[in-house]
Amino acid sequence: MVHIEPGIFARHDPVVEPVPVVFDSPHSGSHYPADFHYACPARLLRHAEDAHVDDLYGAAPAFGATLIAALFPRSYIDVNRGLEDIDQQLLDQPWPGPVSASDRTRVGMGLVRRICRPGLQMYDRKLTVGEIKHRIDRYYRPYHAAVADAIDSAAGRFGGAWHVNCHSMPSTRGPRASVHGWERADFVLGDRDGTTCGIGFRRLVQGTLERMGYDVRVNDPYKGVELVRRFGQPQLGRHSLQIEVNRRLYMNEDTLERTAGYDKLKRDIETLVGAIAAYARDQLTAAAAD
Ligand SMILES: [Zn+2]
C-alpha cells in the first residue's frame, strides 16, 4: 500500500508482517515546485538529486519495513539540514527566528541552497522570508513528521526501531579526496561517530555489504546530518544509520540514466534490506527472552 501526499512524500507501507524498520530517501525527489523559480540550468540542478535511491530500496515493504521518499528535490529545501541552518545572504530581509548557520550554509549549501554548484548561483534574486517559511511548513515539516510517525509507531508497537537514511554520493573527486581517497568507496555509513545507532547495527550493515564484495567506509567523509541526528536515540532503542551509495555503481552521473550495474546493485540492496529486517526481528526476540 502506498500513501501519497502529492508533491511532498510517498510512504510505502509493509505488505507482509511488519518489522520495526523504517527506510527514508530524502533526496531522490524530482517534482520541481512551480514556485521554485531558480535561475541555474535545470540539467546541472538535477545533479543534486540522489536519483533512483527510492527505487533501489523499493524492496523494503516486501520485508515488512516502511519506506518513505520525498517527492520534492533537495535543492528546493533540504530536509537533511536543521531548521536554523538559514543562509541570511540569500534573504531580502532578516530571518525572524533563531539562526545557527552550519559550515554547509557558509558555502551556500544549507537548508535552502544559495548555489547550484561552486561558482554557480541558484537564483538571480533574493528570496523572501515568506518563501522560506512556505518551504518549511509545506514540505520540510510534513516530511519530518512522516518519518517521525513511522519510527514512533514502530517503537511504540515493538519497543525499538531501526531507521536507515538512504542517500547517494557523487564519485567525482572532491577537495578531500586526496587526503581520504574516498572516491574509491562503494558505500559510506554514517552514525555521527557512533552516536546515532548501536554498534551492532552498524556492523551488521557493514558486514553484509562487505560480504557482497563492496568497499565500505564509516563516517568518512559523511558522518550523517540532521535526519539521523534527530531520530537516532540508541539509548532509547531507536537506531538511525545513514547509508551513502556511490552513484558510479548504478547511474550515468551526467544524464542520471541507469547503467548496466543497476539491476545487480538493486538485488544486493534487497539482500541488505532483508538482513536488516531479520536483524531487527532477532533483536526483539532476544530482548523478549531476557
Ligand atoms: Zn542525499
Q: Write the DSSP string, 219-281.
A: SSS----HHHHHH-BGGGTEEEEEEEEEGGGTB-TTT--B-TTHHHHHHHHHHHHHHHHHHHH
Split at pLDDT 50, 70, 90, the class of 284 is: confident
Q: What is the pLDDT of residues 142-186, one digit of tens each?
A: 999 999 999 999 999 999 999 999 999 999 765 554 455 556 799
Rounded to the nearest whole angstrom, what is the distance from the C-alpha of residue 49 to the centroid of ligand 1?
7
Rounded to the nearest whole angstrom, what is the distance from the C-alpha of residue 287 to the centroid of ligand 1?
33
Rounded to the nearest whole angstrom, what is the distance from the C-alpha of residue 116 to the centroid of ligand 1?
15
> What is d(CA 59, CA 139) in angstroms, rounded to the nearest whole number?
25
Rounded to the nearest whole angstrom, what is the distance from the C-alpha of residue 25 to the centroid of ligand 1?
8
Rounded to the nearest whole angstrom, what is the distance from the C-alpha of residue 122 to the centroid of ligand 1?
18
Rounded to the nearest whole angstrom, what is the distance from the C-alpha of residue 167 to the centroid of ligand 1?
4
Rounded to the nearest whole angstrom, what is the distance from the C-alpha of residue 117 to the centroid of ligand 1?
15
Rounded to the nearest whole angstrom, what is the distance from the C-alpha of residue 267 to the centroid of ligand 1?
21
> What is d(CA 215, CA 213) in angstroms, rounded to the nearest whole number?
7
Rounded to the nearest whole angstrom, what is the distance from the C-alpha of residue 46 to the centroid of ligand 1?
12
Q: What is the pLDDT of residues 233-260, one digit of tens each?
A: 999 999 999 999 999 999 999 999 999 9
**Of 277, 10, 288, 281, which is closest to residue 143 (Cα–Cα)?**
10
CA distance readout (Å), 137 to 112, 228, 260: 13, 21, 40
Split at pLDDT 50, 70, 90, the class of 288 is: confident
How large is the average pLDDT for residues 100-113?
Answer: 92
Q: What is the pLDDT of residues 25-49, one digit of tens each?
A: 999 999 999 999 999 999 999 999 9
Rounded to the nearest whole angstrom, what is the distance from the C-alpha of residue 65 to the centroid of ligand 1?
20
Rounded to the nearest whole angstrom, what is the distance from the C-alpha of residue 168 to the centroid of ligand 1?
6
Which amino acid, 49?
E
Torsion of CA 177, 69, 18, 279, to 10 degrees: 0
Rounded to the nearest whole angstrom, what is the distance from the C-alpha of residue 282 to the centroid of ligand 1?
29
How large is the average pLDDT for residues 60-80?
Answer: 98
Task: Give the model's pLDDT for residue 173.
Answer: 60
Torsion of CA 18, 19, 25, 29, to 10 degrees: 0
Rounded to the nearest whole angstrom, what is the distance from the C-alpha of residue 289 to the centroid of ligand 1?
38
Rounded to the nearest whole angstrom, what is the distance from the C-alpha of residue 180 to the centroid of ligand 1?
20
Rounded to the nearest whole angstrom, what is the distance from the C-alpha of residue 290 to the centroid of ligand 1?
38
Task: Give the model's pLDDT for residue 134.
Answer: 98
Least confident range of 12-16, 22-26, 184-188, 239-243: 184-188
Q: Considering the entire predicted model, what is its pTM?
A: 0.95
- Name the grid cell of 133: 517559511
Rounded to the nearest whole angstrom, what is the distance from the C-alpha of residue 52 to the centroid of ligand 1?
11
Task: Give the model's pLDDT for residue 126.
Answer: 97
Rounded to the nearest whole angstrom, what is the distance from the C-alpha of residue 76 to the centroid of ligand 1?
13
Rounded to the nearest whole angstrom, what is the distance from the C-alpha of residue 248 to the centroid of ligand 1?
15
How large is the average pLDDT for residues 71-98?
Answer: 97
Chain-centre distance of CA 8, in angstroms? 15
